[in-house]
Amino acid sequence: MIAAVNINITKVERSKLKDINLENIPFGKYFTDHMLEVDYEDGVWKNAEIKPYQPLLLDPSTAALHYGQAIFEGVKAYKNSAGEAFIFRPLDNCKRFNISAERMQMPQVPEELFMEGMRMLIDLDKNWIPQQKDHSLYIRPFMFSCDPMIGVRPSDKYKFMILLSPTGPYYSNPMRIYVEEHYVRAVPGGVGYAKAAGNYGAAMYATAEAKKKGYDQVLWTDAFEHKFVQECGTMNVFFIIGNKVITPGLETGTILAGVTRDSVLTVLKEMGFEVEERRLNIDEIITSQKAGELKEVFGTGTAATISLIKELRYKDYVMEFDVDSWKTAPAVKDKLNAIRYGQTTDNHGWMLKV
Ligand SMILES: *Cc1c(COP(=O)(O)O)cnc(C)c1O
Sequential DSSP letters for 314-341: ETTEEEE--GGG--HHHHHHHHHHHHHT
Q: Would you say residue 346 has pLDDT above 60?
A: yes
**pLDDT the model gives residue 171:** 58
Residue whose CA is at the smallest distance from ligand 1 atom 15: 234
Check pocket membership of 260 for ligand 1, CB cut-off 6 A: yes
Q: What is the tens place of the pLDDT at every residue in 165-178?
A: 999 987 568 999 99
Q: What is the tens place of the pLDDT at every residue in 102-135?
A: 999 999 999 999 999 999 999 999 999 999 988 9
Exposure pattern of 148-177 as b/e (b: 16+ CB <10 Å)? eeeeeeebebbbbbbbbbbbbebbeebbbb
Check pocket membership of 256 for ligand 1, CB cut-off 6 A: yes
Q: What is the tens place of the pLDDT at every residue in 71-80?
A: 999 999 999 9
Q: For ligand 1, what atom is nearest to the CA of residue 96? A: 7
**pLDDT the model gives residue 169:** 83
The mean pLDDT value for 188-197 works out to: 98
Check: pTM over 0.85? Answer yes or no: yes
Check pocket membership of 305 for ligand 1, CB cut-off 6 A: no
The mean pLDDT value for 250-276 works out to: 97
Check pocket membership of 307 for ligand 1, CB cut-off 6 A: no
Contact 305, 273 (CB under 8 A): no
Check pocket membership of 231 for ligand 1, CB cut-off 6 A: yes
Check pocket membership of 94 for ligand 1, CB cut-off 6 A: no
Residue whose CA is at the smallest distance from ligand 1 atom 14: 234
Residue whose CA is at the smallest distance from ligand 1 atom 5: 258
Check pocket membership of 197 for ligand 1, CB cut-off 6 A: no
At 283, is the secondary structure helix, strand, or coil?
helix
Check pocket membership of 234 for ligand 1, CB cut-off 6 A: yes
Task: For residue 302, report the distance from its CA to the centre of ligand 1, in Å.
Answer: 7
Kindly give, in sequence order, each residue whose CB lies less than 8 Å from that of residue 198, ignoring residues fewer than 6 positions away.
68, 70, 191
Task: For residue 257, report the distance from its CA to the centre of ligand 1, in Å.
Answer: 7
Task: For residue 15, report the distance from its CA to the centre of ligand 1, in Å.
Answer: 32
Q: For ligand 1, what atom is nearest to the CA of residue 192? A: 13
Average pLDDT over all residues of the chain = 96
**pLDDT the model gives residue 133:** 87
Q: What is the tens place of the pLDDT at every residue in 40-60?
A: 999 999 999 999 999 999 999
Residue whose CA is at the smallest distance from ligand 1 atom 13: 234
**In the Cβ-directed half-sphere of 72, how many Cα atoms lie within 13 Å?**
14
Check pocket membership of 259 for ligand 1, CB cut-off 6 A: yes
SS (H, E, C) 22-61: CCCCCCCCCCCCEEEEEEEECCEEEEEEEEECCCCCCCCC
Q: Are strands 75-79 and 44-52 parallel, antiparallel or unpaired?
A: unpaired
**pLDDT the model gives residue 1:** 41
Task: For residue 255, report the distance from its CA to the centre of ligand 1, in Å.
Answer: 9
**pLDDT the model gives residue 2:** 46
**pLDDT the model gives residue 172:** 64
The mean pLDDT value for 25-44 works out to: 96
Task: For residue 301, report the distance from its CA to the centre of ligand 1, in Å.
Answer: 5
Q: Would you say residue 4 has pLDDT above 80?
A: no
Q: How far apart are CA 119 and CA 347, in angstroms?
A: 21
Q: Which domains does the chain have, with CATH numbers?
A: 8-169 (3.30.470.10), 175-340 (3.20.10.10)
At 197, is the secondary structure helix, strand, or coil?
helix
Q: Name the CA dihedral angle for 332, 138, 94, 158, rounded to a multiple of 10 degrees.
A: 150
Q: How far apart are CA 349 and CA 267, in angstroms?
A: 13
Q: What is the tens place of the pLDDT at every residue in 281-337?
A: 999 999 999 999 999 999 999 988 999 999 999 999 999 999 999 999 999 999 999
